[in-house]
Amino acid sequence: MSLDTTLRLLAKASGLTATDIAAAIPRAGAATVKSWLSGDKLPGKDQLTELARTFGVPAGTLLGELASTLDPARTRGEHDLLAAYRALNTRQQGALLEVARSMAQHKKR
CATH number of 50's domain: 1.10.260.40
> Could you tell me where the DSSP H helices lie in 56-89?
59-70, 76-86
Predicted pLDDT of residue 58:
87
Banded model confidence at residue 99, pLDDT cuts 50, 70, 90: very high
pTM of the model: 0.61
pLDDT digits (tens, 9 = 90+) for 40-86: 898 988 898 999 999 999 888 887 777 666 666 667 677 778 778 88
> Of the candidates 65, 47, 50, 49, which has an alpha carbon nearest to the alpha carbon of residue 9?
65
- 38 and 84 part of one domain: no
- 23 and 66 part of one domain: yes
- 66 and 25 part of one domain: yes
Domain containing 51 equals: 3-70
- 99 and 60 part of one domain: no
- 9 and 48 part of one domain: yes
- 64 and 31 part of one domain: yes
- 59 and 83 part of one domain: no
Number of domains in the chain: 2
- 64 and 83 part of one domain: no
